[in-house]
Chains A and B, each alone.
Chain A
């Protein structure tokens, strides 16, 4: 046996040991947070549909009925999206992703104030509350994608390999939403107007995110406006998912900007919001107990 393999082997073992040590340290540090996250999610899950006969089934029925209504109004009567293959399914994708974003931010916004009684009595990592509130949105999203899959089959969507990239954009929306949730929940503790302001902002964002209409309608009228609208990470992600999952005729920020440098703005925005949110939340959270 040569000298080198011996050394190499030793390094290998110690590397593994370091990784294991690091993992066990991380586990210890976040053990309490994980226990808490689990119980808070279970509690929320149980409480949400308590006393309702259909229970969690409503998470499927709600978007389904919303889709039926919007389908009749926008596709059937107003004839929105004609000429775009499988537009109704693409619209459904938009509705589902928007609902996800809206649930992550709105649940998060109220989460800290709603748990005020617990915060005043015991010290625990507060970010767990915000995460727990977003998990139910994540569960709803998964359920909603079952509906999307069904409609994709009915509509005869030709699935491409690129569809595998969808989770990436869902993660983008999640990261953006949770970053905002951190900022909003901490603001809500100090200023209760935050929820009302956010409601209005969401209303504006909703109509600016090309959820109910195809972005091509804006592109045809004013390309510049379309580009600006698409800088919003939610709008950009929705279009990307439509492009990957449903039909390549759905324009994305990449296709309308020809890959110009500013087409990375939404991703930078997500990163900035996430970092600012985490830092702001970390700075404010020691004072939640006395302010909430």
Chain B
């Protein structure tokens, strides 16, 4: 890989094997022992996708619902293994497929911060040193010892986002987690995204929000029906995306 390329996706395809009649029970196996169980449909979620992301780039992945863009993100995050092709990533990558991964309603806000932080790779010591910042950024100084189930959904998202922003990664994968909380918190989020941009972090960004794409992204790809139909500047990709609906 060249020095300035941090993500290289080469001919990636992903098929999911979806059994028509889900055979995860012995009963169906015993009742219909001779039925062809190969009625497995191979669903092509992605077909032959190739692109490169350079260091410091804000890279958008656009597409309609069900087009395969989230699958692409999960392959980048090594959650799924591609059926064909390869993905090379250099540098520490932190995914935000969903905010607050591992959050447990029965634990307090504080306990959830440590658990979620551990999943993002923080040791206890590291969180200890960031804890005050996290709580301040989330504006939850008074509720950290309450159980998460007593938080409003807005509070939960704020806490999750606050932990996420502390992640020390070279590459961030973000799946539509912008625009959370009230207007005031949203402003904070956008400020954070701007700061990512100026600090030279690489960000791969999946969203439906074309305003955000034009605002933040440098380059983008457009995925439609599991194929990549456009690769180029963010503005052009956003226009192509909007044309899909007209």
Contacts and interface: CB of A to CB of B under 8 A. Distances in A.
Contacts of A31: 123
Given A50-B106, A120-B79, A191-B24, A32 B98 contact: no
Contacts of A35: 118, 121-124
B171 to A, nearest CB: 13
B1 interface: no
Interface of A: 31-32, 35-36, 38-40, 42-43, 46-47, 50, 118-124, 190-193, 286-287, 289-290
A35 B115 CA distance: 10
B119 A118 contact: yes
A39 B97 contact: no
B79 A39 contact: no
Contacts of B26: 191, 193
Interface string B70-82: 0000100111110
B118 A122 contact: no
A47 B97 contact: no
Given A35-B121, A35-B123, A192-B24, A121 B115 contact: no
Given A38-B118, A39-B118, A192-B24, A121 B101 contact: yes
A190 B77 CA distance: 23
Main secondary structure of the interface of B (DSSP, over half): loop
A208 to B, nearest CB: 23
A119 B74 CA distance: 11
Contacts of A193: 24-26
In this complex, the interface size class of chain B, counting residues with CB under 8 Å from chain A, is: 20 to 34
Contacts of A289: 74, 79-80
Given A121-B95, A123-B79, 5 more contacts: A31-B123, A32-B121, A50-B106, A118-B102, A122-B102
Contact of A47 (B77, B78, B81, B104): B104
29 contacts: A38-B118, A38-B124, A39-B117, A39-B124, A40-B115, A42-B114, A43-B104, A43-B107, A47-B104, A118-B102, A118-B119, A120-B79, A121-B79, A122-B77, A122-B79, A122-B95, A122-B97, A122-B101, A122-B119, A122-B120, A123-B95, A124-B119, A191-B24, A191-B26, A192-B24, A192-B25, A193-B25, A193-B26, A289-B79
Nearest to A190: B24
Interface string B83-115: 000000000000101100110101100010011
Given A35-B118, A36-B118, A36-B119, A286 B81 contact: yes
B16 interface: yes
Interface of B: 16, 24-26, 74, 77-81, 95, 97-98, 101-102, 104, 106-107, 111, 114-115, 117-124
Contacts of A118: 101-102, 119
Nearest to A197: B26
B118 A47 contact: no
A225 to B, nearest CB: 30
Contacts of A286: 81
Contacts of B16: 290
A290 B80 contact: yes
A287 to B, nearest CB: 7
CB-CB nearest 8 A-B residue pairs: A39-B118, A123-B78, A193-B26, A286-B81, A121-B97, A121-B101, A289-B79, A35-B123
A194 to B, nearest CB: 10
Contact of B81 (A40, A120, A190, A287): A287
B24 to A, nearest CB: 5
Nearest to A51: B106
Contacts of B25: 191-193
